[in-house]
Amino acid sequence: MASARFGNIELEIVQHENGQSTYEEFGSQVGSGVHHLMFVVDDLPSVLAGFREKGIVTSTHVRVGDDEIRWGVLDTLELLGFNVELKARQGFG
């Protein structure tokens, strides 16, 4: 994996080599291409709730403590051809 930041844009380049991973699953379903776009949002719970209301759920999310979600990956592969990752601005470095 290689990553670089250009102002407020971060680019990650990942090449799956072996073993099970989200990238291996993506490659077998789609082939090569954009795995996800990530957006930093101010109110992650509200944004996730808005997507849930439209029938788009998280395939993965990480909680800190009992209920604070720090980031989530929306299951948009079939709809968009790539996943959408959302991160909470608070704690994003």
Q: Tokens in use for 39?
A: 């957006």
pTM of the model: 0.74
Q: How many CA atoms lie within 13 A of 41 on its CB side?
A: 20
For residue 29, which phi and psi values (nearest 5 degrees)?
-85, -40
Mean pLDDT by 10 residues, the chain (93 residues): 81 80 80 86 90 89 69 88 87 55
DSSP SS3 for 56: coil
pLDDT at 50: 94
**Domains located in the chain, CATH noted:** 2-88 (3.10.180.10)
pLDDT at 64: 67
DSSP SS3 for 29: helix
